[in-house]
């Protein structure tokens, strides 16, 4: 490295030395009471070339209003105190907010240009708990289902002895590899009446650099956002509380609700009340490639409400696992979702717990597939089936229809990347899945729920066959995991005899037969549709047996209790209370010393506005061990009376000991 004040002189940067340097700015001409702002960037680099790059990046960050990679914002989450546990619910709002720095690095003309930088970069969540609000423990961490499986935890910068340049080693922590985001967590084995604190922090992952050849991201950067802190008390459940319910119905498609395990968890009664009259529709679309195993499908779905608004878009990613079969007494291969899908909305979480493909009765060789021309006439060798059994699960239909179309333009025409010569005959197709009643779109993906022509020699995947380029080319048709090879009985594409080509309007039918026709095959959920509704929680009518569950905790109360918040804040809890009641406390002489009103519904006021809150699970009330006159009650036996609007009552007693 250079030596400050001595141009041209260098020294070993790793040796002990005086590393101080002096910076100067100016001169400035300032009037009385005026100021000047000096902004300095300290930049470190391996060499002068990298220094210039970093200087330009620093300038672009300044020009953009100090815009750089930023951590995620605070997560919206809610806590519900339940009996000896706490339910934690959060939404995905931060996942839908783009990284502000993306608008700079996505510009090819920017010095900071980085095609690997992710616009939506939240990767997962960390959930923390504290008993004091000061010291925190990590309860759970969740990682999105994608191709990012490691999180940078630390780094070490060192000098490479061979090159003499500074290098960086990154240390990673593997996050359980694609755990998925549940948006719901139950913290159990807690103590009722004790305050617990929680926070949820999102973390993102992006890249400081990229590989100029592959364009893949390099030098990952991880930022964990700030978190809100919320407190909650585990408590007894309202004694006449009835949990909310849901109803999932099969509408149309291939598989009903017995073949796919779906569930709805209601968490926040206040929000669920808002959508009590709504009906939600889940519709499966085309298959995609699974991030967990690219040879297997992922089944995409969308959830909409009654108004047609989209509330979730997701996919079930399939993977291979092995399961012991009791009948066969051996392990069998199963294709299933290994991660539960969860979608949060308005106080509830919709879950797809399990879906398993039927792989036992599906054909595993090309002999089970026959192709017939519904219209048109060709020599026998023009069509040959080339079949990939693993990818057949993309659709698993028993019949597909391929319709041919001729496209001719009178003049030179350019559409996208396709150039059409004047009066040249071009062929394309539409591919329709007859069983699932869905058209398969064109796409160039080698493995995917799409179709394309496949040139064996050039490795290209066009939408059109052209007389100028296809007459002598070896070509086939790929769609949704299967291939049709043209003019080659060996199973590999051969050259098309252009005179024998399909004509406009010709149809081919591809029929797939099952291995055992006596069995019923379960199709994938492609194009299947379901509806579900949620019914909010409610309350049963009261009777004496319900009120018999009311308890006083602790009983007796001895000077101090672990439920006391501090020395000056004592507490006695009344548990298992109904939705609405009045508690009155008397001495043995019949003197009324305290009245406590309990109601799970209450209003929150902000100025002149008010919001009704439903805390339906709140089955406890606390007494601060002070009389109505703010006096500490004398030791002794006390009588409590619980009165409800319906007239059902409960009388009990407790002791205060000093």
Helix (H) or strand (E) holding 604, with range, is strand 601-606
Q: Lowest-confidence range among 8-22, 141-155, 171-185?
A: 8-22
Q: Which of 554, 556, 599, 544 is nearest to 574 (CA)?
A: 554
Percent share of the chain, pLDDT over 90: 28
Is the pLDDT score of 391 beyond 90? no
**Buried-exposed string 30-64: b where 16+ CB fall within 10 A, e elsewhere:** eeeeeeeeeeeeeeeeeeeeeeeebeebbebbeee
State the average pLDDT over residues 379-403. 64
388 neighbors 381 (Cβ within 8 angstroms): no
Lowest mean pLDDT among 379-383, 395-399, 438-442, 574-578: 379-383
The answer to whether the beta carbons of residues 429 and 402 sit under 8 Å apart is yes
Q: How far apart are CA 424 and CA 414, in angstroms?
A: 13
In 134-179, the DSSP E strands lie at 137-143, 150-159, 166-174
**pLDDT number for residue 175:** 46
Unique residue bearing structure tokens 């703010």: 630
| Range with the poorest average pLDDT among 414-423, 452-461, 596-605 | 452-461
DSSP string of 576-588, one letter each residue = S--SEEEEEEEET
CA separation for the pair 32, 492 (Å, rounded): 86
- β-partners of residue 636 are 656
Beta carbons of 398 and 216 less than 8 angstroms apart: no
Backbone angles phi, psi at 222, to 5 degrees: -115, 130
Q: How far apart are CA 338 and CA 412, in angstroms?
A: 51
Helix (H, G, I), strand (E, B) or coil at 165: coil
Bridge partners (DSSP) listed for residue 80:
87
Calpha distance 463→442 (Å, rounded): 7
In order of their start, the domains of the chain are 70-232 (2.60.40.10), 244-357+530-535 (no CATH), 366-512 (no CATH), 540-657 (2.60.40.1930)
Grade residue 89 by pLDDT with cuts at 50, 70 and 90.
very high
pLDDT band at 638 (very low <50, low <70, confident <90, very high): very high
CA distances from 508 to 22, 404, 438, 467 (A): 80, 8, 16, 21
pLDDT band at 578 (very low <50, low <70, confident <90, very high): very high
Question: Token pair of 478, please?
Answer: 């790929």
CA–CA separation, 149 and 143 (whole Å): 8
Q: What residues contact residue 526 under an 8 Å CB cut-off, 6+ apart?
A: 253, 254, 284, 285, 286, 287, 299, 395, 433, 436, 438
Sign of torsion over alpha carbons 431, 437, 443, 449? negative
Q: What value does the mean pLDDT of the chain take?
A: 81
Least confident of 107-121, 439-453, 558-572: 558-572
Q: Which two tokens stand for residue 382?
A: 């023009």
Name, in order, each residue with C-beta under 8 angstroms of 491's C-beta and a sequence gap of 6 or more.
Answer: 366, 384, 385, 386, 485
Q: Rounded to an integer, what distance in angstroms lies between the CA atom of residue 52 and that of residue 490?
A: 59
Note the pLDDT tens digit of each residue in 315-360: 998 888 777 777 777 777 777 888 899 999 988 999 999 988 766 6
Task: Enter the tokens of residue 473.
Answer: 């080319």
User: Can you tell me the mean pLDDT for 284-311?
Assistant: 87
Concatenated DSSP letters of 335-390 = EEE-S-EEEEETTEEEEEEEEB---SSS--SGGGEEEEEEE----GGGEEEEE-TG
The 3 state secondary structure assigned to 536-570 is CCEECCCCHHHHCCCEEECCCEECCCCCCCECCEC
Closest CA to 570 of 554, 588, 581: 554
């Amino acid at each position: 490295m250079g030596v400050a004040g001595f141009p041209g002189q260098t020294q070993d940067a790793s040796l002990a030395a005086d590393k101080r340097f002096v910076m100067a700015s100016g001169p400035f001409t300032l009037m009385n009471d005026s100021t000047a702002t000096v902004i300095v960037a300290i930049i470190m680099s391996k060499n002068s070339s990298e220094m210039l790059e970093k200087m330009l990046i620093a300038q672009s960050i300044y020009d953009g209003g100090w815009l750089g990679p930023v951590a995620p914002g605070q997560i919206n989450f809610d806590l519900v105190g339940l009996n000896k546990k706490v339910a934690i619910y959060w939404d995905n709002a931060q996942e839908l907010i783009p990284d502000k720095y993306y608008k700079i690095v996505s510009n090819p003309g920017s010095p900071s240009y980085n095609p690997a930088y992710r616009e939506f970069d939240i990767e997962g969540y960390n959930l923390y708990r504290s008993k004091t609000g000061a010291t925190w423990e990590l309860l759970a961490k969740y990682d999105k289902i994608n191709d990012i499986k490691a999180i940078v935890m630390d780094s070490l910068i060192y000098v490479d002895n061979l090159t003499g340049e500074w290098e960086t080693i990154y240390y990673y922590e593997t996050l359980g590899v694609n755990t998925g985001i549940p948006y719901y967590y139950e913290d159990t084995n807690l103590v009722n009446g004790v305050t617990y604190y929680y926070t949820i922090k999102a973390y993102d992952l992006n890249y400081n650099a990229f590989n100029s050849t592959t364009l893949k991201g390099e030098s990952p950067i991880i930022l964990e956002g700030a978190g809100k802190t919320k407190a909650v008390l585990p408590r007894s459940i309202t004694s006449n509380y009835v949990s909310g319910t849901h109803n999932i119905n099969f509408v149309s498609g291939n598989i009903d609700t017995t073949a796919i395990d779906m569930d709805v968890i209601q968490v926040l009664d206040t929000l669920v009340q808002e959508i009590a009259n709504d009906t939600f529709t889940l519709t499966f679309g085309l298959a995609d490639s699974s991030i967990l195993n690219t040879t297997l499908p992922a089944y995409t779905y969308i959830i909409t409400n009654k108004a047609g608004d989209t509330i979730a878009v997701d996919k079930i990613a399939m993977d291979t696992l092995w399961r012991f079969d009791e009948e066969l007494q051996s392990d069998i291969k199963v294709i299933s979702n290994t991660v539960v899908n969860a979608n949060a909305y308005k106080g509830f979480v919709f879950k797809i717990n399990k879906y398993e493909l039927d792989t036992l009765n599906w054909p595993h060789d090309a002999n089970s597939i026959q192709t017939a021309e519904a219209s048109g006439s060709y020599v026998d060798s023009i069509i040959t089936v080339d079949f990939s059994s693993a990818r057949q699960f993309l659709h698993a239909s028993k019949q597909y229809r391929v319709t041919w179309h001729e496209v001719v333009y009178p003049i030179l025409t350019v559409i996208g990347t396709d150039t059409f010569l004047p009066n040249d005959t071009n062929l394309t197709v539409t591919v329709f899945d007859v069983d699932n009643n869905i058209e398969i779109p064109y796409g160039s993906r080698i493995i995917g729920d799409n179709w394309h022509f496949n040139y064996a020699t050039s490795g290209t995947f066009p939408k059109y066959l052209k007389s100028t380029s296809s007459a002598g080319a070896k070509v086939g048709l790929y769609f949704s995991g299967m291939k049709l090879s043209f003019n080659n009985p060996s199973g590999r594409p051969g050259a098309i005899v252009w005179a024998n080509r399909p004509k406009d309007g010709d149809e081919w039918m591809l029929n797939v037969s099952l291995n055992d026709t006596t069995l019923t095959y379960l199709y994938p959920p492609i194009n299947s549709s379901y509806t579900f509704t949620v019914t909010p929680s409610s309350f049963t009518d009261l009777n004496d047996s319900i009120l018999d569950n009311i308890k006083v905790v602790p009983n007796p109360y001895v000077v101090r209790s672990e439920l006391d918040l501090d020395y000056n804040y004592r507490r006695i809890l009344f548990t298992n209370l109904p939705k609405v009641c009045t508690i009155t406390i008397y001495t043995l002489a019949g003197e009324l010393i305290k009245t406590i009103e309990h109601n799970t519904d209450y209003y929150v006021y902000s100025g002149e506005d008010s919001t009704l809150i439903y805390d339906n699970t709140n089955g406890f009330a606390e007494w601060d061990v002070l009389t109505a006159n703010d006096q500490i009650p004398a030791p002794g036996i006390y009588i409590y009376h619980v009165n409800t609007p319906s007239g059902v009552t409960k009388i009990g007693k407790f002791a205060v000991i000093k």
